[in-house]
Amino acid sequence: MDIVLSPSPMLRQVCEPCEPGDKGIKRLAKQMARTMYENKGCGLAAPQVGVMKRLVVVDCDTVDETEKAKRDPIYLVNPELVETSGEPVVEEEGCLSCPGILAPVKRRPYAVVRYLDLEGEEWVLEGDGLLGRCLQHEIDHLDGKTLFETCEPAARIAALQAYEEARAAGARPGDTGVPKG
């Protein structure tokens, strides 16, 4: 699967709910996980692969391609951010749809998400640190918000400039810095 890159208008659209238990959604979810791992990501939302559905895959424990045996992706169908808490923290975030850069984003460190699994069973996932941040980032994608919209105004301008430079240098999904050469 190809990653949709910013500034594609697809990334600015609000996604439609999925039908739980749909075989096409299950197939899409598995393809998304494979794409996420191939591009060294820890999360991927359906609009990032050109599908305007409320589907996310995350795995904040296994990012390295050499750790295939440890892979345990979580598939979130129609995820809903129920709660965030904690003192907001600014940390660098990357995005497979904005390769070549990291941008400072302020988020609360703890998130609670309600979602359905691929069979349609309801679950609640709580996460802090990287998982809490990843859940918020991927749900932003489902609501049409990119990495740039989550930055403070001055940081947004700097991130957009850095992204243009990274694109001109040939940055690919999974790159967190400008390619050398």
pLDDT digits (tens, 9 = 90+) for 169-181: 999 998 887 766 5
> Does the pLDDT at position 68 exceed 70?
no
Marked catalytic residue, from 91, 138, 152, 164: 138
pLDDT for the residue 143: 98
pLDDT digits (tens, 9 = 90+) for 28-42: 999 999 999 999 999
> Does the pLDDT at position 48 exceed 80?
yes
* Average pLDDT of the chain to the nearest whole number: 93
pLDDT for the residue 71: 87
- Residue 138 designated active-site: yes
The domain limits of the chain are 9-168
> Does the pLDDT at position 75 exceed 80?
yes
CATH 3.40.640.10, domain 9-168, yes or no: no
Distance in angstroms (rounded) separating the CA atoms of residues 181 and 179 = 7
